[in-house]
Amino acid sequence: MDAPTPERTGGAWTDAAAQQTTRKRDPRVDVLRGLALLMIFIDHIPRNAPAAFTLHNLGFSDAAEIFVLLAGYSSMVAYGGMFRRSGIPTTLLRIAKRCLRIYLFQAGLLIATLLIVRAWMDMTGLVPRFGVKPLLEMGLWQGMLRGLSLNALPNYLDILPLYIILLALFPLVYLGITRGMWGALALSATLWLAANVDHQLNLPNAAAVDDGWYFNPFAWQFLFVIGACLAVAVRNGGGYLPRIPVLTVAAACFLAFSFFQAGSWGEWGLPDLRLLAMDQPDKGHVAPLRLVNIVALGYLLFSMPAIRALSEKPFLRAAEACGKHSLEIFAGGCLAALIGRILYRTFEPLWWLQILVNASGLALMLGLGLYFDARARQRAARTKTA
Is residue 80, in this structure, part of any structural domain at all?
yes
d(CA 300, CA 286): 20
Residue 10 confidence (pLDDT): 41
End-to-end Cα distance, the chain: 32
- pLDDT by residue, tens only, the chain of 386 residues: 444 444 444 444 554 444 444 447 899 999 999 999 999 999 999 999 999 999 999 999 999 999 999 999 999 999 998 998 999 999 999 999 999 999 999 999 999 999 999 999 999 988 887 678 888 888 889 989 999 999 999 888 999 999 999 999 999 999 999 999 999 999 999 999 999 999 999 999 988 877 799 999 999 999 999 999 999 999 999 999 999 999 999 999 999 999 999 988 988 889 999 988 888 899 999 999 999 999 999 999 999 999 999 999 999 999 999 999 999 999 999 999 999 999 999 999 999 999 999 999 999 999 999 999 999 999 888 887 87
- Going by C-alpha positions, the residue among 232, 254, 247 that lies closest to residue 299 is 247
**Spatial distance between the Cα atoms of 339 and 95, rounded to a whole number of angstroms:** 32
| Nearest Cα residue to 71 out of 224, 235, 259, 240 | 224
Give the C-alpha separation, 382 to 340, whole Å.
39
329 occurs within a structural domain: no
Cβ atoms within 10 Å of 309's Cβ, excluding its own: 11
Query: Which pLDDT score, from 0 to 100, does residue 211 have?
Result: 77
Q: Fill in the amino acid letter for 266.
A: G
Phi-psi region of 384 (alpha: psi -120 to 50; beta: other; left: phi over 0): alpha
Q: CA-CA distance, 54 to 165, in Å (whole number)?
A: 27
What per-residue confidence (pLDDT) applies to 365? 98
Across the chain, which distance is largest between two alpha carbons, in Å? 64
Q: Which of the 8 DSSP states describes residue 70?
A: H
Q: Is residue 113 part of a domain?
A: yes
Sequential DSSP letters for 7-45? HHHT-S--HHHHHHHHHS--HHHHHHHHHHHHHHHHHTS
CA 357/CA 347 separation, integer angstroms: 12
Tell me what pLDDT residue 13 has: 52
In a domain, 43, yes or no: no
Residue 17: what pLDDT? 46
pLDDT at 5: 43
Note the pLDDT of residue 148.
94
Q: Is residue 103 in a domain?
A: yes
* Cα–Cα dist 51/40, whole Å: 9
Let me know if residue 187 belongs to a domain: yes
168's enclosing H/E stretch is helix 159-168
In a 10 Å sphere around its CB, with 0-12 CB exposed, 13-18 middle and 19+ buried, how is residue 187 labelled? middle
* 3-class SS letters over 264-327: CCCCCCCCCCCCCCCCCCCCCCCCHHHHHHHHHHHHHHHHCHHHHHHHCCHHHHHHHHHHHCHH
- Sequence length of the chain is 386
**Cα–Cα distance measured from residue 234 to residue 25, given in angstroms and rounded to the nearest whole number:** 13
Q: What is the pLDDT of residues 34-86, one digit of tens each?
A: 999 999 999 999 999 999 999 999 999 999 999 999 999 999 999 998 998 99
Residue 358 lies in a domain: no
Q: Work out how many domains the chain is built from and give that number.
A: 1
The per-residue pLDDT for 126 is 87
Query: What counts of helices (H) and strands (E) characterise the chain?
Result: 18, 0
Q: Is residue 377 part of a domain?
A: no
Look up the domain containing 246 and give its range.
6-26+56-303
Residue 245 buriedness (CB in 10 A; 0-12 / 13-18 / 19+):
exposed
Tell me what pLDDT residue 28 has: 95
